[in-house]
Structure 1
Amino acid sequence: MAFSVVTKKTTIPVAGSAALKDIQDWKLEIHLKNIFEVSALRLQAAICSSFMQRACLCCLQQLQDRQAKSDDEEAKAEHLEASVAYVADALYDLRQAGRHRLAPWHFSSKPLTLTPLSPPSLPDVLQLVLCLLAPLLQGLWAAPLPEFSGAYGYLSGDQGFQQFLTSNLEFSLKIKAGAEKLREVFCQDYRLCNEQELSLVRRQLKISQAPLDQCQSTNFNLDSCFTQIRNGLQMYHTDFSVVQQHLPANSVAIGRLVLDISDFASNFQQQMETMGIAVVSYPGLTGQDLSFPTTFHEQAGGYLLLSNLQHFLETVFRALRFLQKQ
């Protein structure tokens, strides 16, 4: 006697289809998915670690070939190189074993052979770990934000400047939230929800982002950063004033955004004057030469400008927060 379908008593058979799973079946399926995801993450970590160890091994070999060392230093270098090689080979074997166990139907069916290795001594392993972790920890402790560097601790005692940072951090979040809400309106009313899909329109309308390289480079400069922020806000103020005229249905919301941008720019200009920073306006940053040939271009142009403004304000927020933590 042959069986075509076997079902549990707790399941409900459906004609012409597989039996519905009960709650235990679903729990088992979710548990197995979690196990597979964790195994995949372990395999990914082993692959990345293996590549990193191989790169360290190449660097050590190059340094050993180029530099002249004493006998004692030469022995330590050889021990360190052996330690790196051992870890790299062990991680490679772990990756191969994981691949062989996770998907034996996809990879080669030949038996897996692992090369026996002689483990290094514990001091060598500890020395290797410290050498690899020291630059990373030093970089994490060096500054509160990785994209900024500089020493502006002398401003921490200026109560007026600290008040400026606190109030304008909140103001930047308020304007960013307003721009995000307007983007949601554009998405709902005009079906414009992804700026990546509008890359061709961006090139046609020649819509560019206001520069803020002095606020996010390793050579962070307070004077230049504030100048770029002020000029960028003036540019967006002009651009959204143009968009407001082309989109009467959204005129009220865009008008509120224009007023907030104007106040934000005025705050920076007043602070620059207080600190004695020269207020410089560069040609071409008072506004972009926007021209919308169709209604669709008006809507898409407004959406792209809102996206640019959000990215701009994110950088401004990080710059102000960096200065606040000095």
Structure 2
Amino acid sequence: MSDSSSKLLVPLHVKYIQSLGESKDDLMYHLTAHLRMNAIYWGLTALTIMGHKDALDREEMIDFVMSCWDDEAGAFGAHPDHDAHLHATLSAIQILIIQDALDRVDVDRVVKFILSLQQPSGVFAGDQWGEVDTRFLYCAVNALSLLGRLHELDADKTVGYIRQCRNFDGGFGAVAGAESHAAMVTVCTATLAILDRLDEIDQATLGWWLAERQLPNGGLNGRPEKLEDVCYSYWVLSAMAILKKVPWIDAEKLIAFILSAQDPEHGGIADRPGDQPDVFHTHFGVAGLSLLGYRGLEDLDPVYCMPAKIIERMGLRKDWEALPRRVE
């Protein structure tokens, strides 16, 4: 392995994330407007885990988040003038908590918006247009917990829907009847952790299914017969950390795979070696390294996907597992 891929290139990744907001004239900047709020959360969280939270301007970030407020809905959209959505709303809440600016939020209105999206089955729609997915269910439960309003949720109905999504292999799908997928496994596992209902999981079977996601090159895939992808370093590991199964995979091989997907010239992490980096995979690559105990990184909480010290300060920290800090 070359020197450039044997360690995390923190200064380059910081510069890469800083550069993302400087390309407002690029077509790609506008084509990704629907992900802007999420991208800011990914970038800020990665920077915070790497110890460079202040690399982006705090006030400019807070102003942008508040410019995405949808006053008619009482929640946040992904970009100014976009409709409110659960995913963007969760990202906005997470950004404002990391930046110690949650007092800018009309919590009562946001909670009303979130609860209005729960369907009779217990699942949540992402927005007024009605698409349902266990990811949106997680966004709702995560946000309500962060806002201190989890007691207003119909938890039994929520857990009941997750139970419908559980499959024979121990995993969970996007909707009832859908195949198991690592991202949905994590959102369902994290939701059950927040609700103190991990008893709903067949932990031995699911732990085996998650461990089977590791391929010979060390990378993880999202479901059987698929290619490895750096983002699953989080989507698989977070569930394994919650279930205390991280030692079931080869951590050193996974670390090597994540580091090999770095761009040694311009920074950023791609889905796999040789591809174009992006902020999504940069965030989840750094997140995976944190969950593996990579030296020099702050702890990431696998339930909330936020800096663990913030979650602990809020009194929400769950008991989870990380490997001992790795010596480079």
TM-score relative to the length of structure 2: 0.18
Specify the structure having the higher radius of gyration (Cα): 1
Point out which structure has higher relative CO (alpha carbons under 8 A, 6+ apart): 1
More helix by share: 1
